[in-house]
């Protein structure tokens, strides 16, 4: 049976960039059943809800999910909030599919080294943030005390939650440079002390991985000072939310950054949802100006993590770099002496490099 990939294009530029990602997978010879379903505003317009049951069921029956982006001014203020695309589609999808490990690579593309907001002369960046996605302060009890003037958010972590994300970070580090920096605030927070103890116990059982610890405030600083020092950054939900945005942006354009949200392994396959980190960009939707490379690189991550096919992932990443090397640029990364291309032209160029 060929693998089954659920394709959820979503809204705005979502369908435009997803078309290019599917084109590139096909050009790379990936023989899968690509099954399309509605999500976000497109699903609201067609069915009245942002995450129809059929879409969730298709994802459950699939080996992986490739998502574009959801949302737009037409739907973002709908009441009640669970009808809105992000709250009503993305959050339940992550919860229902148990996607507890958010993985975000930040890598300098050689032809775009100037796009980094950091000064020249910095080391090349090639790191991955592994963020715990379903625990911590975002999921703890929150309330106001009676007078309304005191607000309380609770951060909760269990040892089991820390163990599974740590082991996932170790697995990822094993495919790379075997170095994990675990980021916490163990000088203040009890959840961080449990986090550190657990990571240390697992580090002792996995001596092939070099594990060090860093306080989150220092990590935020080190990412700007010397991002080349990091291989895998492992951290909890809220710290990861902030650090992964910081790490992403030091490489350059939003239109280039992929992500994965992973669940448990089933045999040798890891179920995952893959998506560019950008949104639906309503300001440029329908104009073929969107950069499809983040979606294409998300498809490459899918080949590496869900299908264990690092070779195809490497080929897709090399094809992206080759297209950039030729000077092709979508509007968001255009510079003098490069050639401005549309969304489809960029996808075509990457696909052409993959065809035998
Ligand atoms: P956004 O990422 O959509 O856009 C921010 C800016 O970056 C815009 O100027 C846009 O044109 C540009 N941009 C984004 N992706 C690009 C690409 N691939 N190529 C070229 N330029 C690109 O963020 P926003 O404007 O804050 O949000 C717009 C909508 O997207 C909202 O409805 C928001 O809720 C939604 N959103 C969805 C997701 C998701 O689906 N995961 C994530 C973030 C935002």
Chain segment 301-312, per-residue pLDDT in tens = 999 999 999 999
Distance (Å, whole) CA 352 – CA 337? 22
Our answer on whether the CB atom of 76 is closer than 6 Å to any ligand 1 atom is yes
Chain segment 191-239, per-residue pLDDT in tens = 999 999 999 999 999 999 999 999 999 999 999 999 999 999 999 999 9
Residue pair 322/353 in contact (Cβ under 8 Å)? The answer is: yes
Q: Which of 33, 45, 153, 217 is catalytic?
A: 217
CA angle 199, 201, 206 (to 5 degrees): 85
Chain segment 112-131, per-residue pLDDT in tens = 877 777 765 456 889 999 99
Least trusted range by pLDDT, from 62-76, 115-129, 292-306, 337-351: 115-129
Pocket test for ligand 1, best of 92, 275, 278 (most atoms within 8 A of CB): 278
Residue pair 31/1 in contact (Cβ under 8 Å)? The answer is: no
Chain segment 148-199, per-residue pLDDT in tens = 899 999 999 999 999 999 999 999 999 899 999 999 999 999 999 999 999 9
For residue 222, the tally of other CB atoms under 10 A from its CB is 16
SS3 percent helix, strand, coil of the chain, rounded to 5, is 45, 20, 35
CA torsion 80→97→306→261, rounded to 10°? 50
Annotated active-site residue 138? The verdict is: yes
Task: Supply the residue whose CA is at minimum distance from atom 6 of ligand 1.
Answer: 281
Compute the average pLDDT of residues 50-59: 98
Chain segment 247-261, per-residue pLDDT in tens = 888 887 778 999 999
Taken in order of first residue, the domains within the chain and their CATH numbers are: 1-99+255-356 (3.40.718.10), 117-250 (3.40.718.10)
User: Maximum Cα–Cα distance for the chain, whole Å?
Assistant: 69
Annotated active-site residue 245? The verdict is: yes
Q: Which of 245, 269, 309, 348 is catalytic?
A: 245
Our answer on whether the CB atom of 20 is closer than 6 Å to any ligand 1 atom is no
Task: Supply the residue whose CA is at minimum distance from atom 34 of ligand 1.
Answer: 71
- In this prediction, residue 121 carries a pLDDT of 47
Joined together, the tokens standing for residue 199 give 């990571």
What's the whole-number average pLDDT of the chain?
A: 93
Joined together, the tokens standing for residue 38 give 């509605």
């Amino acid at each position: 049976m060929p693998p089954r990939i659920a394709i959820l294009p979503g809204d705005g530029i979502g369908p435009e960039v997803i078309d290019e990602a599917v084109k590139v997978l096909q050009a790379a010879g990936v023989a899968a059943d690509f099954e399309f379903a509605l999500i976000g505003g497109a699903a609201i317009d067609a069915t009245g809800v942002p995450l129809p049951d059929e879409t969730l069921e298709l994802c459950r029956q699939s080996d992986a999910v490739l998502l574009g982006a959801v949302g737009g001014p037409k739907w973002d203020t709908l009441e009640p909030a669970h009808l809105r695309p992000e709250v009503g589609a993305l959050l339940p999808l992550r919860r229902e599919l148990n996607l507890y490990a958010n993985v975000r690579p930040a890598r300098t593309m050689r032809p775009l080294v100037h796009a980094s907001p950091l000064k020249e002369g910095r080391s090349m960046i090639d790191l991955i943030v592994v963020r715990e996605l379903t625990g911590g302060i975002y999921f703890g009890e929150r309330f106001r005390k009676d007078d309304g003037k005191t607000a309380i958010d609770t951060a909760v972590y269990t040892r089991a939650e820390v163990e599974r994300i740590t082991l996932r970070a170790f697995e990822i580090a094993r495919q790379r440079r075997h170095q994990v920096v675990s980021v916490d605030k163990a000088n203040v927070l009890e959840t961080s002390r449990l986090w550190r103890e657990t990571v240390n116990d697992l580090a002792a059982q996995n001596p092939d991985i070099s594990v060090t610890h860093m306080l989150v405030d220092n990590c935020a600083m080190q990412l700007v000072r010397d991002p080349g020092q990091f291989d895998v950054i492992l951290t909890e939900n809220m710290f990861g939310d902030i650090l992964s945005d910081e790490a992403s942006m030091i490489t350059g354009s939003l239109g280039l950054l992929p992500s994965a949200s992973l669940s448990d392994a089933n045999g040798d396959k890891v179920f995952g949802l893959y998506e560019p980190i950008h949104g639906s960009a309503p300001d440029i939707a329908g104009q073929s100006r969107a950069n499809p490379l983040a979606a294409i690189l998300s498809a490459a991550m899918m080949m590496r993590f869900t299908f264990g096919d690092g070779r195809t992932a490497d080929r897709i990443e090399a094809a992206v770099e080759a297209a950039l090397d030729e000077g092709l640029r979508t509007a968001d990364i255009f510079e003098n002496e490069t050639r401005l291309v549309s969304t489809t032209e960029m996808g075509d160029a990457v696909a052409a490099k993959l065809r035998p």
